[in-house]
Amino acid sequence: MSEKQVSKEIKRLEKLMMDHARNLEFEKAAQVRDQLAKLKAQLFGASGEEAPLPPV
């Protein structure tokens, strides 16, 4: 996948996730969220989650 295709797919999944959440379809939204996390992990080697902040 090209960078442009990946970006487009991420945006599509994010929109789909938000649509499901707006329609109170939280299980479907969570499934899409998990797909996004897997895609980001495959592409960027990240968990798809933000790293915790260090203690102050």
Domain ranges of the chain: 3-44
Tens-place pLDDT, residues 40-53? 888 887 555 555 65
Instruction: State residue 42's pLDDT score.
Output: 84
CA atoms within 13 A on the CB side of 21: 11
Statement: the pTM of the whole predicted model exceeds 0.85: no
Q: What is the 3-state secondary structure (H, E, C) of the chain?
A: CCHHHHHHHHHHHHHHHHHHHHCCCHHHHHHHHHHHHHHHHHHHCCCCCCCCCCCC
Instruction: State residue 3's pLDDT score.
Output: 81
Tell me which residue of 41, 50, 40, 53 sits closest to 13, measured CA to CA. 40
Instruction: State residue 49's pLDDT score.
Output: 57
